[in-house]
Structure 1
Amino acid sequence: MTQARLMDGTALARRTVEETARKAADLTERTGTAPCLATVLVGEDPASVTYVRMKQNRCRKAGIESRHVALPAATTTAELVGVLRELSADSGVHGILLQHPVGDHVDERAAFEAIAPEKDVDGVTFASFATMSFGLPGFVSCTPGGIVRLLDEYGVDPSGKRAVVVGRSAILGKPVGMLLLARDATVTYCHSRTRDLSAAVREADIVVAAVGRPRLIRGQDIKPGAVVVDAGYNPGNVGDVDFDSAVERASLITPVPGGVGPMTIATLLEQTVEAAARQLGV
């Protein structure tokens, strides 16, 4: 069997951001107001600091204003909730991103729920999950949304296919399964406690790995010709899939890095401009 084709998230993200920049410029010209994304960071985790800085740079390239709120690591849940409610009430802010994780002493769910649904461009609130699950207007979780865009770009129709999602997080595993279900896939959720995970993966036409365990999914467990989406990112630029062996059996596969990651940020920017347009009534 020939090696799998790579699903190039970097190239698709570049085109998505270019289109988003055109929409942002048009919105700014028509309303006199540029879309604005507020990022909130608790503490100084190096990876989070780098990620937020990357998002700010991408915002500038897309014609989106970026407002950054840096909070000390000792910030309490009540203090963080207060900041997020203030941003939610600020008409000059159209989208809000709370960089996570926020620290074990903070109730992350309470913080997420302080974000107004119309500004939840990262798709992390109960309201966003509900609207996404019911196919109603709202904002999808950015990584799952980026994954579906990648599948569309490479002509992968989930309808009638068996999709196995390895991972059950509230902002990745669970929502990507719901998005695939909405496309008429038959979805199986697996996780770190699934018995005989290999057997479940071997049945999959589409595998989404999002469990946060390096090289958990091995090539020998990939059904020949399956589509493999690796949403994991572990130290050393290693995904949740053993790429070298999986590429020999899959038909399409995302690299790490350069696959899912760029589409996450592109989706965030796209949804920020969409949120601004809704709030500005255009």
Structure 2
Amino acid sequence: MSAISLSGKELAASLRARAKEAADALTAAGTPPRLAVVVATDDGSSLWYVRSIAKAAAKSGIVCDVVDLGADATVAEIRRALETLSADDTVHGVILQTPLPEGASAADLAGTIDPAKDVDGANPASLGRLAARLPAFAPATAEAVVALLDHHEVPLPGRHVVVVGRSTVVGVPAAHLLLARDATVSVCHSRTADLPGMTRRADVLVVAAGRAGLVTAGHVAPGTVVVDVGTNPAGDGGLVGDVAPEVSEVAGALTPVPGGVGPVTTALLLGHTVAAAAHLTQR
């Protein structure tokens, strides 16, 4: 029996509709929400993602400027662009797209983004506030994991959630968000001993390691809810997750790739941008 599909399309459509309604109201009041995405890469999958954000923003009444600095951009050029956008009163959300040129630190550069405009929760200050359970924008992909589980009515209090991956983009912030929902959380990574033994103990398994097919059927106990955050390029030009296809025969429920976490992430970014615009017009 195949796992139930935890699609993100219905939730994403609802979030986009809500963002558009709020964006239209702000525009009518004289403040069109504006998002800026700073890009310094020629990575194909990354550029595809940026195009998808811009397309979704346009449909939701949000102006989206892609600031393409080129793959050979210097750290100083990237920093200057982020500082300029943070100081621009007409810009309400700023995203620094990764990967970055060699020698550039995402955490260091993201620290120049005004936290009030840090709609993807990349500034270390935003991450610190998230850990302290203070108001801040969470990284959208991490928030999408919890939003998707909520949408499909997967209970979290008291459940054992295992997160595979410890990046500050997904794994660590997702763990904080899940802890805040009273889940018992274990975080695994590349140096975890006996990874399959750890993941088989999970009621809910969140896989965000960035390695195609890392989690196989042997990693999953029957009936486990599995959230696959992976978006790895496939040989046919499509995307595959971190979870192998065979897991669908063991898990109780599984997010598809594409069509699971991805569309919810983009929709949340739009919602964050609108919320930032509403807040910034009042400060």
Note whether the superposition's TM-score is higher than 0.5: yes
**Alignment-derived partner of residue 123 in structure 2:** 125
Distance 1:9 1:109 in 2: 29
Distance 1:89 1:13 in 2: 30
1:140 aligns to 2:141 (yes or no): no
Distance 1:52 1:212 in 2: 18
Please give the residue correspondences for 1:48-197 in structure 2 after superposition, counting only pairs within 5 Å: 48-197=46-195
Letter in 1 for 2:119: V
Distance 1:209 1:45 in 2: 22
Asked whether the 8 Å contact 2:120–2:269 carries over to 1, the reply is: yes
TM-score normalised over the length of structure 1: 0.95
Asked whether the 8 Å contact 1:80–1:111 carries over to 2, the reply is: yes
**Alignment-derived partner of residue 248 in structure 1:** 249
Between Structure 1 and Structure 2, how many residues are aligned?
279
Segments of structure 1 that go 5 or more residues without pairing to the other structure are: none
Segments of structure 2 that go 5 or more residues without pairing to the other structure are: none
The match for 2:223 among 215, 222, 225 is 225
Asked whether the 8 Å contact 1:77–1:110 carries over to 2, the reply is: no
Distance 2:221 2:187 in 1: 17
Distance 2:41 2:106 in 1: 14
Asked whether the 8 Å contact 2:195–2:219 carries over to 1, the reply is: no
Asked whether the 8 Å contact 2:41–2:98 carries over to 1, the reply is: no
- 1:193-249 CA-to-partner distances (Å, cap 9, x unmatched) read 211000000100010000111111112321222110000121212211113x22122
Letter in 1 for 2:255: T
Letter in 2 for 1:226: T
Distance 1:177 1:155 in 2: 19
Of residues 116-125 and 69-78 in structure 1, the stretch that sits farther from structure 2 once superposed is 69-78
Asked whether the 8 Å contact 2:164–2:208 carries over to 1, the reply is: yes
**Alignment-derived partner of residue 41 in structure 1:** 39
Asked whether the 8 Å contact 2:41–2:99 carries over to 1, the reply is: no
**Alignment-derived partner of residue 258 in structure 2:** 257
Letter in 1 for 2:280: Q
- 1:27-86 CA-to-partner distances (Å, cap 9, x unmatched) read 222x21110001111133322222211111111000001122110222211221111011
Letter in 2 for 1:106: A
**Alignment-derived partner of residue 275 in structure 1:** 276
1:16 aligns to 2:31 (yes or no): no
Asked whether the 8 Å contact 2:221–2:250 carries over to 1, the reply is: yes
Distance 2:101 2:9 in 1: 30
Letter in 1 for 2:278: A
Offset of residue 189 of structure 1:
0.7
SS in 1 for 2:125: helix
Letter in 2 for 1:212: G
Distance 2:49 2:227 in 1: 21
Offset of residue 109 of structure 1:
1.8
Offset of residue 166 of structure 1:
0.4
Offset of residue 15 of structure 1:
1.6
SS in 2 for 1:247: helix
Offset of residue 134 of structure 1:
2.1
Letter in 2 for 1:16: L
- 1:103-154 CA-to-partner distances (Å, cap 9, x unmatched) read 2222222211110100000111111112222222110001011111100001
SS in 1 for 2:280: helix
Letter in 2 for 1:103: P
Asked whether the 8 Å contact 1:159–1:183 carries over to 2, the reply is: yes
TM-score normalised over the length of structure 2: 0.95
Could you tell me the percent identity over the aligned residues? 44
Distance 1:258 1:101 in 2: 22
